[in-house]
Chain A
Amino acid sequence: MYTLVCIVAGMALAEAFLGLMESQPRHGYELKRVYDERLGQGRLLPFGQVYATLSRLLKNGLVRVDGFEPGDGPDRKRYVITPAGLSLIESWLTEAEKPDLHLQSTLYVKVVLALLSGRSAVDILDTQQREHLRLMRELTARKASGDLTEHLICDYALFHLEADLRWLELTAARLDELAAKVRS
């Protein structure tokens, strides 16, 4: 679980924040709350990571400060996604991920964000399925020309990719259920 959360934090946290800001401007505390509720998978995001990520998004021109809101302590900065941020989230959601052994966590974030934003989650799963099958074809072709060691290494990868694909298929079958949950 620790590994998966680190992967989400490292690879998709910035994109997840952009996705959550697409529908409305948000301040850091609110982003953390929505992230923990919708995408955290049982692990709470540290505040330090929230503000470090927002600072990086701001520096890269993907969000800008939209104003300040009074809170219990100092005024909270409200962030809004920029056109560059919108463009990045659009590409990130529609492009396939490179298949790897801990992919589900990133895909889960994509699927939930798609459902929250009214995009087609089925398209995301289909795109990923095509990418997985493309890699499986490559590995199958490598098996045909390789020795036994190559064969066994490719088989190992193929069985893992097959497990990913089963998860994709099952998730596709449960999208209505998931949509009802994330929109509640």
Chain B
Amino acid sequence: MTRPTASLLFGTGLCKTYGSTRALEDVSFHIRAGEIVAVMGPSGSGKSTLLQCAAGILAPDSGRIVYDGRDVVAMSDAERSALRRRDFGFVFQFGQLVPELTCLENVALPLRLEGVARRPAEARAAQWMERLEVSDVAGKRPGEASGGQGQRVAIARGLVHHPRVVFADEPTGALDSLNGERVLQLLVRAAVDEGVAVVLVTHETRVAAYAHREIVVRDGRVRDTEQVS
């Protein structure tokens, strides 16, 4: 298994408020290259807000986020978009696949957005679908795939462009136990094989147990534990 090494992404003193609700309060975290980190906490604790700030989707009210030596908060919108497209991958609870595209086209999408021609993009997408054992739904639309298949397609899409960090927000939250476990095993194995860091947001401890360590969020505050495994 790849051992985490240098710190790749970190945040310090992050605060984020929605109206009168303080979602993050003086939060710090760090993610090392190749490391799988679970962000845990009850509903409404601020864990999804933390993921969105860490991924450059949401700007914190104050604090710093640094990815690979670069200040994410200080970047222009275009620079942040490029960062998310090239270096980050995303897997959400309900897949969020584009319903009009086939599953294969969905997986190829991050490559197409980076200007890769259709044929090589779809060839690489097909390899990832095979790896995640969903080749049989390549020509189908997401609505025709099962929940478990859809999530595997979403994982393939999240990894196809060789990101350095994958952000997964409750990736098995909509699946039954058996399918959820299979999807997690595939995500973790693929990430470890590729040396990709995974930020795994979950409220389920059995899901968090797949990570190297956990960051616990409670009432907008974080206890960032060191790696113990």
A interface, over-half SS: helix
Interface stretch of the complex, out of B13-21, B120-128, B206-214: B206-214
0 or 1 for each of A160-176: is its CB under 8 Å from B? (1 = yes): 01100100010011000
Tell me the minimal C-beta distance from A172 to chain B in angstroms.
7
- Residues of A within 8 Å of B143, CB to CB, are none
Contact B218 A136 (CB under 8 A): no
Which of A24-32, A111-119, A127-135 participates in binding chain B? A127-135
CA distance A65 to B57 in the complex (A): 65
The total number of A-B Cβ pairs within 8 Å is 40
Chain A residues with CB under 8 Å of B205's CB are: 132-133, 136, 161-162, 165
Which chain A residues lie closer than 8 Å to B216 at the CB level?
A: 126, 129
Instruction: Kindly report which residue of chain B lies nearest to residue A140, judged by CB atoms.
Output: B209
* A141 vs B185: C-alpha distance when bound (angstroms): 11
Q: List 15 A-B contacts (CB under 8 A).
A: A126-B216, A132-B205, A133-B209, A136-B205, A136-B206, A136-B209, A137-B211, A137-B212, A137-B228, A137-B229, A140-B206, A159-B206, A162-B204, A169-B42, A172-B218
Known pairs A133-B214, A139-B209, A144-B185 / 15 extra A-B pairs, C-beta < 8 Å:
A126-B216, A126-B223, A129-B216, A130-B225, A130-B228, A136-B205, A136-B206, A137-B211, A137-B229, A140-B206, A141-B229, A158-B206, A158-B209, A162-B204, A165-B205
